[in-house]
Amino acid sequence: MSGYLTIARDGEAEIEVKRSRFLVTLQRVEAEAEARALVERLRREQWGARHHCSALRLGPPQQPVERSNDDGEPAGTAGAPMLEVLRGAGVCDVAAVVTRWFGGTLLGAGGLVRAYSDAVRAGLDEVGTLRRELVREFTLAVPHDVAGRLETDLRAAGVTVLGSTYDASVLLTVAAPPLDEPRLAALVAELTSGAGVLVPGEDRWVDRR
């Protein structure tokens, strides 16, 4: 598995159902502790709300960590439906918290499931998604007089150039997904007439918009 979806940015959205307000907060997270901290922050900031229900998915998605909490709503009517929406959207590394202010009308179990689900869907529509991709970093030392042209040619060919360091020579840092490594090696050989040597570095996840 070389990639998965997450949210494009943190954000909020609000819906109203029979005068009950449902405010969803979506946030990128890398650990359960960050999700718990988000819930506690919202409890402090929105202290007048009755419920702060939550769902969490941490990727990559083959074996995600998943958590949900109904926070006082009838069992299975809030956290689990929220989590199901995140699953359906295929997003990981995200915490969703829906803060509810009661409007005076009981919604029933089915109404709560729909409301909490719709709130998360509205939030996902608001923030959008992006793809996280596993790449390997490579460094490439080149002379100063060809560095600018080489970087331009690499970018034009769709190669991710992460940065450059100028010293006695120019050290370009590039990245490629595992399946693209042979293509990258061939491209560098072509552009440098065989003189360029790719030195492999660490694997890491990067965002692709």
Q: Which helix (H) or strand (E) holds 6?
A: strand 3-7
Neighbours of 89 (CB within 10 A): 18
Is the pLDDT confidence value at 21 over 90? yes
β-pair type (129-142, 3-7): antiparallel
Is the pLDDT confidence value at 39 over 80? yes
Q: Which two tokens stand for residue 78?
A: 């809030």
Residue 179's contacts (CB-CB under 8 Å, 6 or more residues apart) are: 2
- pLDDT tens-digit map of 72-97: 999 999 999 999 999 999 999 999 99
DSSP E strand stretches across 127-185: 129-142, 160-166, 170-176
Of residues 71 and 2, more confidence is placed in: 71
Q: Which two tokens stand for residue 165?
A: 């360091």
Mean of the per-residue pLDDT values for the chain? Answer: 93
> In the chain, where are the structural domains located?
3-127, 133-208
Q: What is the pTM of this model?
A: 0.81
DSSP E strand stretches across 29-93: 51-58, 65-69
Predicted pLDDT at 1: 59
Query: Are 23 and 14 in contact, with CB atoms under 8 Å apart?
Result: yes
- 133-208: CATH topology: Alpha-Beta Plaits (3.30.70)
Predicted pLDDT at 3: 86
CATH of 3-127, one of 3.40.50.300, 2.40.110.10, 3.30.230.30, 3.20.20.70: 3.30.230.30
Tokens 């100028």 identify what position? 166
- Measure the CA–CA gap between 135 and 203, rounded to whole angstroms: 6
